[in-house]
Amino acid sequence: MRTAIFSLWLSAVYLCLLSCSDGLASDARKTATVRAVERARGAVANIHSEKTALDKDPAFRDGPPRKVNGMGTGIIVDERGYIVTNQHVIADVDALRVTLFDGSTYTARVISYDRKHDLAVIKIDPSRSLPVIPLGTSSDLMLGESVIAVGNAFGYEHTITAGIISSLSRDVEVNETQSYSNLLQTDASINPGNSGGPLLNLDGEVVGINVAIRAGAQRIGFAIPIDDARKFLARLLNTGRLNDTYHGLVTRDVKSPQNLKLVVDSAEPNSPASAAGFKPGDVVMHAGSVAVADQADLERAFLGHAPGEEVEVTVLRDQAAVTLKVQLARNADPNVNHASSQVVVRQPKENFDDQVWRVLGLRLAKISTAQLDTFRTRYRGGMKVVDVRGDSPAAQNGIQPGDILVGLHIWETTKAEDVSYVVNNPKLVSFDPLKFYVIRGPETLFGSLPLARERK
């Protein structure tokens, strides 16, 4: 009997050891790189873009503009769906689509961008709170330190590559209009589509934003140091520009290997911050529900609150936590400290109908090829003029309801996207007056639309 019980006990111990050893083996395979990726991957966004491009082939002169697909990567910096990426990823795009690590997909819109420093903020509207990228510092990076790049390389979403820091400060000139200073150089593979994605340390913290590669070279990539990027991000999220609110806090980031903190230098006179009682030397710890490590955190904490709304801010003062209440003011206050003028806030786009009505003075509807055949023309399609605004360029130059708009400038107008491309073209000023072609009865008529007054 005792022998049987002992045998059962040995079997149980053996099975337990097998199970435990499997767990130990699994844990042993989880290297620092694996753990770093697991910590950060949920806050990485894959960006897919669509923009309209002109075909350079002269033979395509009468054809419609082409749609070009692009790709990039972004980093979630706020639970509500604010994502930072490179400006060149979102430049001149018509549409943005973001895919997260869990496979969920969202339409995104551009909030603000900074061409000089090649950074932008886009926004999605999730139904849940999103993970935010763990924040590191670039102040203590070491030559040869291991780093990880995560990105949408050539459209392969969430591609992971690893390497080291090859240099701590590089000045890089990409072309005549774009140059960078103080970039990190890494041999972690960075490919087209990685732009805007994170460069991680082995703690899974973001220490850089991948921005460029050396054309023709192998494993020479560059990233914006995160300490620099966060300063620019604070301007991109500035509540005065995005939210029409004003707080009046003057602060500075302190970033060292031992500490990340936001220190109050002053409160502007007659500002909400002054009324709340901030003092020089206060260390901002929390604002609303946001744990504050730098100016970017402070701005996003205030973002979304209306003028007159109170936000509780906790500061460390003389080794004690003090809670202050900031009642945000409207940004019309003459004491507003405006952000850098190089930051551009993207205003919501007009819809197609309103834009064409404002610029050209036309209401348009698509006409089918079959309907166009009744006119016995050589055109592949057109837009029917439904209405003409009085005193508009269209009305003053003879366009009438019932006309079929078949061309603007050098492009045919077979669909709404063709007209939108012309109206939104950055070279529109050089088209003024804008040549148009319409079908009326058996004839094709043409004329020119002066646009200077309508563009205002």
Cβ neighbours, 10 Å, residue 15: 10
**Helices assigned H by DSSP within 30-92:** 32-40, 87-90
What residues contact 192, with CB distance under 8 A and at least 6 apart?
Answer: 71, 153, 154, 213
Look up residue 409 and give its two tokens: 């400038």
Under a CB-based contact definition with an 8 Å cutoff, are residues 195 and 183 in contact?
A: no
Q: Which two tokens stand for residue 180?
A: 């960078």
- 421 closest CA partner among 368, 359, 370: 359
- Residues identified as active-site: 88, 118, 195
Q: Where are the beta strands (DSSP E) in 174-259?
A: 179-186, 198-200, 206-213, 221-225, 245-246, 249-255
Token digits of residue 153 = 């390389």
Query: Is the preceding peptide bond at 433 cis, omega within 30 degrees of 0?
Result: yes
Closest alpha carbon to 78 in 133, 127, 120, 152: 133
How far, in Å, CA of 50 to CA of 92, rounded?
9
Amino acid at 205: E
Residues 145 and 285: their CA atoms lie apart, in Å, by: 30
Give the C-alpha distances (Å, rounded to integers) separating 203 from 26, 157, 200, 264: 19, 22, 8, 29
- Whether residue 393 contacts residue 450, with contact meaning beta carbons closer than 8 Å, is answered with yes
d(CA 431, CA 411) in angstroms, rounded, equals 12
138 contact partners, CB below 8 Å, separation of at least 6: 184, 207, 208, 225, 226, 227, 228
Amino acid at 392: S
Q: If DSSP codes are grouped into helix, strand and coil, which group holds residue 392?
A: coil
Residue 224, helix vs strand vs coil? strand
User: Distance between CA atoms of 186 and 148, rounded to whole angstroms?
Assistant: 9
